[in-house]
Amino acid sequence: MYVRLSNILDAKNPGWPNAFKCMASPVQSIKNGAVNNVYIITLMNHFGTHFDAPNHYVDSGPKISELPIETFFYEKPLLADIPKSFEEFVTAEDLKPYAARLKEADFLMIRSGFCKLRETDPSNYAARGPAVGSDAAKYLMDNFRLKAIAVDWISLASVPHTGDGDIAHHYLLGKYHDHYTCIIEDACFEGIAGKKLKRVTALPLLTGMGVDSGPVTIVAEVED
């Protein structure tokens, strides 16, 4: 069975406060006499569920289209239930109980439960989300070799604490290490709670033109 973990792009969805979201403009439409429907889609590449490649924070790091294709396929995913609320940090201490499983994992998904507010309280979902603290990011980089980490809130950083969020991004995206851990933000893991994971695939829009990162579709395969 397959479960989608990424959100569908829609201009009505919450985004980073005061940042551009997305829009779709019809070029031609069947109802207006054209033979087919065609749209131009304009979006910020860090809106909605998206994949941060190292170049997002490390100028010498690979851009989204430069990452090895195996970066996006996870045979040993780990779902960690770490409940967090407004502006709370995921800390190294929160992660230590998962250390043995992190040694074997290639993809970490942190399920805080905060994604439930995406529909019910979009303003606070965008403006007051949790964060992966810089101490947690350093702990992951010092001790494990993950391909990627994913969170079920709007950004690795919390809007009121962007200074620590910048440091956390620097750690994970390889500024201080000889390896990097890519970041997926604004996902939702409610559909896989309590299920046995087989594998996860996260395929981003592989945009060239110097673009650092991009929107991503994430699908988990679980046992029926």
CATH at 145: 3.50.30.50
C-alpha closest to that of 5 among 87, 83, 104, 110: 110
> Which DSSP symbol is given to 89?
E
Higher pLDDT, 224 or 75: 75
C-alpha closest to that of 165 among 141, 129, 140, 218: 129
Contacts of 208 (CB under 8 A, 6+ apart): 63, 65
3-state secondary structure of 98: helix
Is 169 inside any structural domain?
Answer: yes
Q: How many other β-carbons are positioned within 10 Å of the β-carbon of residue 69?
A: 8
d(CA 22, CA 11): 5
pLDDT of residue 187: 98
Burial of 9 from C-beta contacts in 10 A (0-12 / 13-18 / 19+):
middle
Is 36 inside any structural domain?
Answer: no
| Counted domains in the chain | 1
Contacts of 185 (CB under 8 A, 6+ apart): 46, 49, 50, 52, 150, 151, 153, 154, 155, 156
Section 168-187 average pLDDT: 98
Is 34 inside any structural domain?
Answer: no
C-alpha closest to that of 202 among 2, 1, 5: 5
Mean pLDDT of the residues in the chain: 97
pLDDT of residue 83: 98
Is 209 inside any structural domain?
Answer: yes
CA terminus-to-terminus distance, the chain: 6
Is 203 inside any structural domain?
Answer: yes
Q: Which domain holds residue 174?
A: 2-7+45-222
Residue 52 has pLDDT above 90, yes or no: yes
Is 15 inside any structural domain?
Answer: no
Section 93-108 average pLDDT: 98
- Are the beta carbons of 146 and 177 closer than 8 angstroms? no
Section 105-131 average pLDDT: 97
C-alpha closest to that of 147 among 175, 198, 109: 109
d(CA 76, CA 109): 11
Q: How many other β-carbons are positioned within 10 Å of the β-carbon of residue 161?
A: 17
pLDDT of residue 139: 98
At 90, is the pLDDT very low, low, confident or very high (cuts 50, 70, 90)? Answer: very high
- Are the beta carbons of 49 and 185 closer than 8 angstroms? yes
Q: How many other β-carbons are positioned within 10 Å of the β-carbon of residue 143?
A: 13
Is 30 inside any structural domain?
Answer: no
At 224, is the pLDDT very low, low, confident or very high (cuts 50, 70, 90)? Answer: confident
pLDDT tens for each residue of 182-210: 999 999 999 999 999 999 999 999 999 99
> Which DSSP symbol is given to 209?
T
**202 residue type, one letter:** A
At 3, is the pLDDT very low, low, confident or very high (cuts 50, 70, 90)? Answer: very high
Q: Which two tokens stand for residue 189?
A: 């893991």
